């Protein structure tokens, strides 16, 4: 998305009451259990396609579609590979090894990410998630990681928001394929390495590449720079987080007795630059021990175990912070339904605060699908907080969520919805 592009608006329905919309089915919404679900993301090119496609309703140009039902099929096609063909992709490295380090008080555990499966789930349901964390207050599936094209999408899909990425509370985070960042989920810490096999510098901030946030300042940003100096070595950041420790994945490598593999994090937030000890002891800021995140000041000294690190910060860094994080990152207004694979239908959005919408190939639907395998009125979506309720409105070929046929289901960001031959990835906008 180019600078200044506005968020898309859902298709207008004018003053008419959509046929069969939010009527008898409304009473059933409360019966849907709020089960947890996984999430999947989207790259800038694919999202740009979604933005460009929004506007007037798409009409079906095949003859006779309004008068006949499609041929019934036993099972919809399997979920297609998520692609991002709208922009040039960075080639995937030959040695591509994404992983997560689960940090505990007794050490850390490396967990490889299987890039052949579409989504990696994180939550407290030991039996049904890929990465289990013992957090009683989070959802069974709280966070998902998805690689689309050459970008990762990290999304919070739990009932309540518990995700912080690099110290900043967020619901959705876009990162380059080789990004490294700290995920805080409740009180649990995970180090995400987009590609551990390739030791590459951080992108300065994923916010600069976020296709879901309009009006970002991407050029002529305020001058702001953080420099860490240790002996003859120094690390410079203009917005990127800095992980400190003795593990090779760290941005600032420290050696010394008592230094932990992932000992501390420095991150840029909306109002300042902060030091987070990541639940470790032996972290001091200008000779004062700290046990929670604290703002950094120019000229301060960070002491980790017995290693001293000097801090230099330019005067205008707070102006740069405000430009890097100009909006509340939990304040998404829409659910995006982006067409993936060879989907014949167009992408669309649904307001989080709006009424229910109907989907199908008939002209009376709020969202018209250019799909001959969809029914005239195929499904209904009703938003509710961080999720939607999806109803199959007696279609011929059914509705599928993540490959399973459903009559009624709670849908979260990251789910794949299948209607006819159309596949839509749900996310925040």
Q: Pinpoint the alpha helices (H) of 332-427.
A: none
| Residue 55 reports pLDDT greater than 70 | no
- Where is mean pLDDT largest: 167-181, 283-297, 318-332? 283-297
Closest by alpha carbon to 429, among 339, 326, 332, 348? Answer: 332
Residue 174 β-bridge partners: 153
| Residue 386 reports pLDDT greater than 50 | yes
**Structure confidence at residue 224 as a pLDDT band (50, 70, 90):** confident
Choice between 259 and 119, residue whose per-residue pLDDT is larger: 259
The answer to whether 413 touches 388, Cβ cutoff 8 Å, is no
**Which range is least confidently modeled, 5-14, 247-256, 272-281, 303-312?**
5-14
What span, in angstroms and rounded, lies between the C-alpha atoms of 389 and 412?
Answer: 9
- What token pair was written down for 271? 């109002």
**Structure confidence at residue 4 as a pLDDT band (50, 70, 90):** very low
| Residue 302 reports pLDDT greater than 70 | yes
Looking at residue 20, its pLDDT comes to 37
Phi, psi of 50, rounded to the nearest 5 degrees: -65, -40
**Structure confidence at residue 93 as a pLDDT band (50, 70, 90):** low
Looking at residue 149, its pLDDT comes to 74
Closest by alpha carbon to 420, among 384, 377, 375, 382? Answer: 375
* Exposure b/e, 236-248, CB count within 10 A at least 16 = b: ebbbbbbbbbbbe
| Residue 391 reports pLDDT greater than 50 | yes
What are the tens digits of pLDDT across the range 121-145? 999 999 999 999 999 999 999 999 9
Residue 399 β-bridge partners: 406, 419
What span, in angstroms and rounded, lies between the C-alpha atoms of 358 and 120?
Answer: 30
**Which range is least confidently modeled, 22-26, 89-93, 247-251?**
22-26
Looking at residue 294, its pLDDT comes to 95
What are the tens digits of pLDDT across the range 343-356? 899 999 999 988 89
* C-beta atoms surrounding 89 within 10 Å: 16
**Which range is least confidently modeled, 25-34, 35-44, 274-283, 364-373?**
35-44
What span, in angstroms and rounded, lies between the C-alpha atoms of 253 and 261?
Answer: 9
Secondary structure of 252-308 in HEC code, one letter for each residue = EECCCCCCCCCCEEEEECCCCEEEECCCCCCEEECCEECCCCEECCCCCEEEECCEE
- Residue range 37-45: average pLDDT? 38
Cβ neighbours of residue 245 closer than 8 Å, sequence gap 6 or more = 252, 253, 254, 259, 260, 261, 262, 263, 264
Share of the chain above pLDDT 70, in %: 71
Looking at residue 424, its pLDDT comes to 92
What span, in angstroms and rounded, lies between the C-alpha atoms of 6 and 349?
Answer: 14
What span, in angstroms and rounded, lies between the C-alpha atoms of 102 and 247?
Answer: 13
What span, in angstroms and rounded, lies between the C-alpha atoms of 190 and 253?
Answer: 18
**Greatest alpha-carbon span in the chain:** 78
DSSP 3-state of 98: coil
| Residue 190 reports pLDDT greater than 70 | yes
Cβ neighbours of residue 71 closer than 8 Å, sequence gap 6 or more = 373
Closest by alpha carbon to 258, among 284, 282, 226? Answer: 282
Looking at residue 219, its pLDDT comes to 61
């Amino acid at each position: 998305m180019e600078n200044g592009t506005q968020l898309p608006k859902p298709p207008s329905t004018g003053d008419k009451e959509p046929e069969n919309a939010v009527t008898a089915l409304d009473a059933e919404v409360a019966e849907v259990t709020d089960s947890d679900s996984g999430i999947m993301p989207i790259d800038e090119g694919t999202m740009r396609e979604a933005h460009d496609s929004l506007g007037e309703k798409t009409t079906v140009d095949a003859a006779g579609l309004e008068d006949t039902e499609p041929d019934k099929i036993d099972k919809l096609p399997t979920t297609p590979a998520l692609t991002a063909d709208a922009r040039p992709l960075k080639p995937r490295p030959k040695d591509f090894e994404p992983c997560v380090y689960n940090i505990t008080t007794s050490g850390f555990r490396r967990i490889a990410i299987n890039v052949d499966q579409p989504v990696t789930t994180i939550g407290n349901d030991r039996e049904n998630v890929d990465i289990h964390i013992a957090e009683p207050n989070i959802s069974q599936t709280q966070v998902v990681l998805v690689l689309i094209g050459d970008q990762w999408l990290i999304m919070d899909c739990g009932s309540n928001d518990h995700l912080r990425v690099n110290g900043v509370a967020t619901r959705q985070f876009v990162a380059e394929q080789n990004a490294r960042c700290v995920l805080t989920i409740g009180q649990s810490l995970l180090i995400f390495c987009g590609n551990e096999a390739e030791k590459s510098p951080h992108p300065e901030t994923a916010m600069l590449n976020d296709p879901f946030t309009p009006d970002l300042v991407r050029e002529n940003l305020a001058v702001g720079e953080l420099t860490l100096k240790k002996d003859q070595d120094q690390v410079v950041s203009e917005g990127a987080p800095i992980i400190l420790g003795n593990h090779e994945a760290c941005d600032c490598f420290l050696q010394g007795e008592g230094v932990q593999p992932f000992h501390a994090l420095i991150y840029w937030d909306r109002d300042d630059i902060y030091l987070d000890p990541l639940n470790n002891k032996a972290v001091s800021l200008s000779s004062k021990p700290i046990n929670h995140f604290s703002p950094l000041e120019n000229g301060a000294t960070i002491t980790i175990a017995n290693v001293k690190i000097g801090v230099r910060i330019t005067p205008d860094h707070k102006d740069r912070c405000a430009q890097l994080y100009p909006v509340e990152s939990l304040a998404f207004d829409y659910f995006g339904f982006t067409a993936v694979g060879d989907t014949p239908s167009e992408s669309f959005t649904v307001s989080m605060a709006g009424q229910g919408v109907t989907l199908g190939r008939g002209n009376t639907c709020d969202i018209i699908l250019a799909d001959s395998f969809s029914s005239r009125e195929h499904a209904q979506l009703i938003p509710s907080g961080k999720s939607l309720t999806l109803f199959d409105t007696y279609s011929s070929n059914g509705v599928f969520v993540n490959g399973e046929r459903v009559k009624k289901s709670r849908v979260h960001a990251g789910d794949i919805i299948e209607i006819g031959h159309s596949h839509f990835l749900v996310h925040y906008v």
